[in-house]
């Protein structure tokens, strides 16, 4: 497979169409975010989680963070009190573990769901346009540190993912904070 590399600030309509087509097919792509580069797949795509975990060498049953819009979060979370606590920090670098709604369980596969509303216009617009949240994990292989630059991303993922979107303005290299709001009091995981 040939990996297409796009620069966010210079992305053409054709490149955006290629990215959307890859995501709609269930293929994970590397995308920038407000935290770290992510290996992301369209949550509604067939076999998206399986494809993402296979590329990353994750166990197939490993829960995956889900990036979403505020409106999507209201559909995916079941407990309004938990959701209201998380919404105080969104959009932003907080992954909130919440009780999953019936719809949320479709994506998480379990009774809880790790949601994050990114502070990133590109990702929010992409999710609204594709009418789907994104399954997301840091861009690295299981057990390794997240990739921080173009060299590291290409060294691992060139020829493995169809698209890598680079953000030359990004200097973010800190993963999101994780808080489990299903615990009382909420528990900081990371």
Tokens found for residue 171: 């200097």
Band (pLDDT 50/70/90 cuts) for residue 104 is very high
Please state whether beta strands 112-116 and 177-180 pair in parallel, antiparallel, or not at all (unpaired): unpaired
Average pLDDT for residues 104-130, to the nearest whole number?
95
- Report the pLDDT value the prediction gives residue 140, as an integer from 0 to 100: 94
Where are the chain's structural domains? 4-188
For 14, half-sphere exposure in the C-beta direction (CA atoms, 13 angstrom radius) is 2
Is the CB of residue 65 less than 8 Å from the CB of residue 112? Answer: no
- Report the pLDDT value the prediction gives residue 170, as an integer from 0 to 100: 66
- Report the pLDDT value the prediction gives residue 174, as an integer from 0 to 100: 85
Which comes out higher in pLDDT, residue 15 or 60? 15
- Report the pLDDT value the prediction gives residue 172, as an integer from 0 to 100: 67
Start-to-end CA distance of the chain, whole Å, equals 35
Which CATH code is given to the segment(s) 4-188?
3.90.870.10
- Report the pLDDT value the prediction gives residue 169, as an integer from 0 to 100: 74
Average pLDDT for residues 114-141, to the nearest whole number?
96
Tell me the per-residue pLDDT of 61-97, one tens digit each, with 9 for 90 and over: 788 899 999 999 999 999 999 999 999 999 999 999 9
- Report the pLDDT value the prediction gives residue 94, as an integer from 0 to 100: 97
> Which of 113, 45, 40, 109 has its CA nearest to residue 75?
113
Tell me the per-residue pLDDT of 123-134, one tens digit each, with 9 for 90 and over: 999 999 999 999
Average pLDDT for residues 9-29, to the nearest whole number?
96
Tell me the per-residue pLDDT of 30-39, one tens digit each, with 9 for 90 and over: 999 999 999 9
């Amino acid at each position: 497979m040939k990996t297409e590399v796009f620069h966010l600030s210079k992305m053409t309509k054709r490149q955006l169409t290629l990215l959307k087509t890859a995501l709609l097919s269930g293929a994970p792509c590397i995308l920038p975010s407000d935290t770290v580069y992510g290996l992301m797949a369209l949550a509604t795509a067939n076999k998206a989680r399986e494809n993402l975990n296979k590329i990353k060498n994750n166990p197939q049953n490993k829960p995956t963070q889900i990036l979403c819009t505020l409106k999507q979060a209201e559909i995916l979370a079941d407990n309004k009190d938990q959701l209201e606590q998380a919404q105080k920090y969104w959009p932003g670098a907080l992954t909130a573990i919440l009780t999953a709604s019936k719809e949320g369980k479709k994506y998480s596969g379990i009774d809880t769901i790790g949601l994050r509303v990114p502070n990133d216009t590109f990702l929010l617009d992409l999710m609204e346009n594709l009418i789907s949240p994104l399954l997301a994990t840091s861009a690295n292989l299981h057990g390794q540190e997240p990739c921080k630059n173009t060299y590291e991303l290409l060294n691992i993922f060139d020829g493995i993912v169809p698209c890598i979107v680079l953000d030359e303005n990004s200097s973010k290299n800190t993963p999101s904070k994780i808080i489990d709001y299903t615990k009382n009091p909420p528990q900081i995981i990371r």
